[in-house]
Amino acid sequence: MSLTFAPGTQDAVPLHLVETATFDSWRAEQPEPVRRWLDTLGFKGALGTAAVVPDAEGKPKLAVAGFGDAAARARGRFPLAAAAAKLPEGTFRLVSDLPAGDLETETLGWLLTGYSFDRYRSQGASKARLVCPDGVDATRIEAIARAEALTRDLINTPAADMGPEALEAAARDLAIECGASIKVTTGADLLTQNFPMIHAVGRAAEQAPRLIDMRWGDAGPQVTLVGKGVCFDTGGLNLKPGASMGLMKKDMGGAATVLGLARMIMALTLPVRLRVLIPAVENSVSGNAFRPGDILTSRKGLTVEINNTDAEGRLVLADALALADEETPDLIVSMATLTGAARVAVGADLAPYYTDDVRIVTALETAASEQADPVWRMPFWTPYESKIEPGIADLDNAPAGGFAGSITAALFLRRFVDNPSYTHFDIYGWNPTAAPARSKGGVGMGARALFAALPDILDLP
């Protein structure tokens, strides 16, 4: 797959980006053979359409990509990518008056049409390549595209090849690539190092549970990213039905997303001190699996009654968040495929997030709009705190009733963090239907928006 811009060349075919409202005036300026060719094809500038006009020798003379209208573009993302996927193999040079910010987003979308998950079988992907337009930072856009590809590859890989050991190996590869340090606490050492809930959730699996701890940078504000790394979730003794288990290879989507975000930060040398914490486990069934009714004592000292072993993600995150909070970093962010309730609330396309810091909200939502990486703020609704307090222990991992499941999970996590900057994303990590620049399968959610927002959140130069 190609996730880079084509080298500049005189042979690149000019690609005109044309809206439906301006198509007639643009068409009127073209030579008659071009007009007749487009009329024959019925091209009108509709969103996602594309046409190549040949010269007298049958070679591509120019191409046209339909940009539709504002209403059509509002119904999706990456309209240029929708057209790019319809173009034949070749190198194209964009002719457009898009504003600089939109141009960066659209060119990123183009690069992402080149993504395919081909570890097990060759897959189709767009082979049309784009010369980087003037004013676009090619290094930045290519780094973001590669980071997104890393996230997708990790999520798309089946659990047999992406267990805790393989997830650790992926983190180590990234650390080597970017000059980061890494420490991993594994198996029984989790108990001696006081990560009891990570150990409890993962102890039934053949591959030992572990906590991955990666650091990079020695100056600037400290950013700590915590990603849920449940490499497969059977539900434990509260076994999931088969239909619900089918996509559980993606239950490490939070870990994959923070690794992608970390790659952006490190590759583009953001002036921060970065820490990435990933509790990597498999929630399996065996004789020593943790049980409904057990009461676990967390790293922070809070006790947790287990009312459902399928609510395990918040348990492993809790120990990792407690560790993150001990350093009082400038920003703590957790990302997790945590609850089905979040999907019921906002569907597969939006990344819901929780924070009490209005400064983060302002920066994040502005960036999300600009980066075509939509997010939606959900409330840390304090009146629901009583729902996660069972009485027999400090906390309940699976409150009865089923209402506000995403909110109560977020409130549970907040109990382990005193830092007022704490921000939590309850993501899906999966694109159920292929869309422009977003193939069916694993996908990053919220990472690009957060990366773009970090300079404002942290007052970076």
pLDDT of residue 1: 64
Flag whether pLDDT at 253 surpasses 80: yes
Least confident of 120-134, 205-219, 262-276: 120-134
Q: Three-state secondary structure along the chain? A: CCCCCECCCCCCEEEEEEEHHHHHHHHHCCCHHHHHHHHHHCCCCCCCCEEEEECCCCCEEEEEEEEECHHHHCCCCCHHHHHHCCCCCEEEEEECCCCHHHHHHHHHHHHHCCCCCCCCCCCCCCCEEEECCCCCCHHHHHHHHHHHHHHHHHHHCCCCCCCHHHHHHHHHHHHHHHCCEEEEEECCHHHHCCCHHHHHHHCCCCCCCEEEEEEECCCCCEEEEEECEEEEECCCCCCCCHHHHCCHHHHHHHHHHHHHHHHHHHHCCCCCEEEEEEEEEEECCCCCCCCCCCEEECCCCCEEECCCCCCCHHHHHHHHHHHHHCCCCCEEEEEECCCHHHHHHHCCCCEEEEECCHHHHHHHHHHHHHHCCCEEEECCCHHHHHHHCCCCCCEECCCCCCCCHHHHHHHHHHCCCCCCCCEEEECCCEECCCECCECCEECCCCHHHHHHHHHHHHCCC
| Mean per-residue pLDDT, 257-285 | 98
Domains and CATH numbers, the chain: 13-130 (3.40.220.10), 143-458 (3.40.630.10)
The residues carrying an active-site annotation are: 240, 314
Q: What is the mean pLDDT of the chain?
A: 96
**Is the model more confident about 33 or about 125?**
33
State the pLDDT at residue 9. 75
The model's pTM: 0.97
